[in-house]
Amino acid sequence: MTEVREYLNLIGGELRPATGGGTLDSVNPATGEVWAKIPRSTAQDAADAVAAARKALPRWSALPAAARAHVLRNVAYAFAQNAKELAEIETTDNGRIISETAKRDVPGMTYLWHMAAAECGAAVEGKSVILGPKSMGFTRREPYGVVLGIIPWNSPISTFSAKAAYALAAGNTVIMKPAEQATVSTLRLGELLRDVLPPGTLNIVSGLGEEVGDALVRDRGINKITMTGSTETAKIITRASTDALKPMDFELGGKAPNIVFADADLDAAAEGITTMSIFTANAGQACVAGSRILIQRPIYDEMIERMTAIAKNIKMGDPLSLETTMGPISSREQYERVTSYLEIGVKELRVCQEEIFGPVAVAIPFDTEEEAVAIANDSTYGLAAGVWTTDLGRSQRMFRDLQVGYVWVNTYRKIVPGLPFEGMKDSGYGHDSVLANTRERSCVIEH
């Protein structure tokens, strides 16, 4: 049995346990063993993190953009220098296979921190309008202040980066609250970045959503919330924060349709759907999981056969092995939830509507393009969709008509820094970017 290491919060530049010393177990989903302990933070820790972030704000927000960019590039180097360790921690903590964490997540996030550094200048650009010979108007962009980032368990390093990098680039100080089921990579980042960022600029408090998460959401010292997680939690957060109005961005769940037309390259569609969209990709535990596979009737049987053949070659096993193409479901609780849907699927239609968040998909035949759009849009969610077709006009029409924020044509799950990743309907609103972390104020001068 491996040694169980205890990780700490980062508050005001100090690594510290939760007030009162409470901890939670972090379980390796591949073995079921407790492999780390994390702080079970309290309302006092939340208040301390807010005080530390507020104290650091005047200095960080007053730094010239070029100086902030320099610091963020050093964060990117810290990611690059510790890439192997970070990937292994993420895989051990939440079961994402090592080929995803080592080849996609950590390198991708190194790039994202560099991108955020490059965009620091955009955060201080305003606009000016000549109103007459003696009158002009202009704007100035400012950071919101203290930004709270709330993270889900399915891809902590990526979500941490998208929230922290852009908020910091815009001159905000941040508090990150990772999910209790997969916290360790975020706490390790706290250790690694402690000497890279000025004290209090980045604070990390771990613990339960309904305890420390709720205390943070209600705190009037928080100026903006960016949350990625379930629609249900987003509604709880919205209700809890009504006494202290603050802007919020929500990146939430989905029930993405993957639509295959008879004119598609069927090899590419079968491979893409099976390995990039639903089954192997994070064992279906992705907000964009293409869990509704819509297939045009003439190719329905053939597509099912092709996908079944590919699925038979999926290699399940140790997520730390590069040979493994599908890792575990990330907790016992989640495993039971996912498998319960297999029974539900036989009896009723909920599997076509509810987010299962596991390697489970439904296949639905359709006849016409209009019918495909109608089925695809018949969902409370509106996050993403896949379209497989060789008809360029059809791909344009599908992009226009599908009520989702992100559409992939003849590919899947390519989430590119620089393109907004934003849901519709119950999939949320707002997205993480540098400008989204600023407010723009106006002034008119006459003389």
Window contacting ligand NAD (CB under 6 A); options: 73-81, 222-230, 372-380, 435-443: 222-230
Interacting residues with ligand NAD between 303 and 362 (CB under 6 A): 355, 357
Q: If binding is defined by CB under 6 A, does position 210 make contact with ligand NAD?
A: yes
Window contacting ligand NAD (CB under 6 A); options: 90-98, 175-183, 187-195, 292-300: 175-183
Window contacting ligand NAD (CB under 6 A); options: 54-62, 80-88, 150-158, 194-202: 150-158
Window contacting ligand NAD (CB under 6 A); options: 11-19, 43-51, 115-123, 210-218: 210-218
Tokens of 83: 């890439």
Does the active-site annotation cover 287? yes
Least spacing, CB of residue 104 vs ligand NAD, in Å? 14
What is d(CA 195, CA 199) in angstroms, rounded to the nearest whole number? 8
Least spacing, CB of residue 227 vs ligand NAD, in Å? 6
Cβ-based nearer residue to ligand NAD, 40 or 306: 40
What is d(CA 33, CA 158) in angstroms, rounded to the nearest whole number? 25
Does the active-site annotation cover 6? no
Q: If binding is defined by CB under 6 A, does position 252 make contact with ligand NAD?
A: yes
Cβ-based nearer residue to ligand NAD, 97 or 237: 237
Q: If binding is defined by CB under 6 A, does position 108 make contact with ligand NAD?
A: no
Least spacing, CB of residue 225 vs ligand NAD, in Å? 9
Residue nearest to ligand NAD (CB): 209
Please select the residue that binds ligand NAD; options are 88, 142, 191, 214, rule is CB under 6 A: 214
Please select the residue that binds ligand NAD; options are 52, 217, 356, 436, rule is CB under 6 A: 217
Choose the catalytic residue: 119, 251, 355, 422: 251
Cβ-based nearer residue to ligand NAD, 80 or 240: 240
Q: Residue 227 burial by CB count (10 A; 0-12/13-18/19+): exposed, middle or buried?
A: buried
Nearest to 229 by CA among 168, 150, 285, 170: 150
Least spacing, CB of residue 199 vs ligand NAD, in Å? 24
Please select the residue that binds ligand NAD; options are 26, 101, 228, 282, rule is CB under 6 A: 228
Cβ-based nearer residue to ligand NAD, 68 or 255: 255
Least spacing, CB of residue 288 vs ligand NAD, in Å? 7
Choose the catalytic residue: 287, 352, 355, 422: 287
Cβ-based nearer residue to ligand NAD, 93 or 295: 93
Interacting residues with ligand NAD between 278 and 297 (CB under 6 A): 287
- 3-state per-residue secondary structure call for the chain: CCCCEECCEEECCEEECCCCCCEEEEEECCCCEEEEEEECCCHHHHHHHHHHHHHHHHHHHHCCHHHHHHHHHHHHHHHHHCHHHHHHHHHHHHCCCHHHHHHHHHHHHHHHHHHHHHCHHHHHCCCEEEEECCEEEEEEEEECCEEEEECCCCCHHHHHHHHHHHHHHCCCEEEEECCCCCCHHHHHHHHHHCCCCCCCCEEECCCCHHHHHHHHHHCCCCCEEEEECCHHHHHHHHHHCCCCCCCEEEECCCCCEEEECCCCCHHHHHHHHHHHHHCCHHHHCCCCCCCEEEEEHHHHHHHHHHHHHHHHCCCECCCCCCCCCECCCCCHHHHHHHHHHHHHHHHCCHHHCCCCCCCCCEEEEECCHHHHHHHHHCCCEECEEEEECCCHHHHHHHHHHCCCCEEEECCCCCCCCCCCCCCEECCEECCCCCHHHEEEEEEEEEC
Q: If binding is defined by CB under 6 A, does position 407 make contact with ligand NAD?
A: no
> Residues 119, 434: contact at Cβ < 8 Å?
yes
What is d(CA 127, CA 443) in angstroms, rounded to the nearest whole number? 11
Cβ-based nearer residue to ligand NAD, 138 or 429: 429
Q: If binding is defined by CB under 6 A, does position 112 make contact with ligand NAD?
A: no
Please select the residue that binds ligand NAD; options are 115, 122, 236, 362, rule is CB under 6 A: 236
Cβ-based nearer residue to ligand NAD, 357 or 388: 357
Cβ-based nearer residue to ligand NAD, 25 or 125: 25
**Catalytic center residues:** 251, 287
Return residues touching ligand NAD (CB under 6 A).
150-154, 177, 179-180, 209-210, 213-214, 217, 228-230, 233, 236-237, 251-254, 287, 355, 357, 383, 423
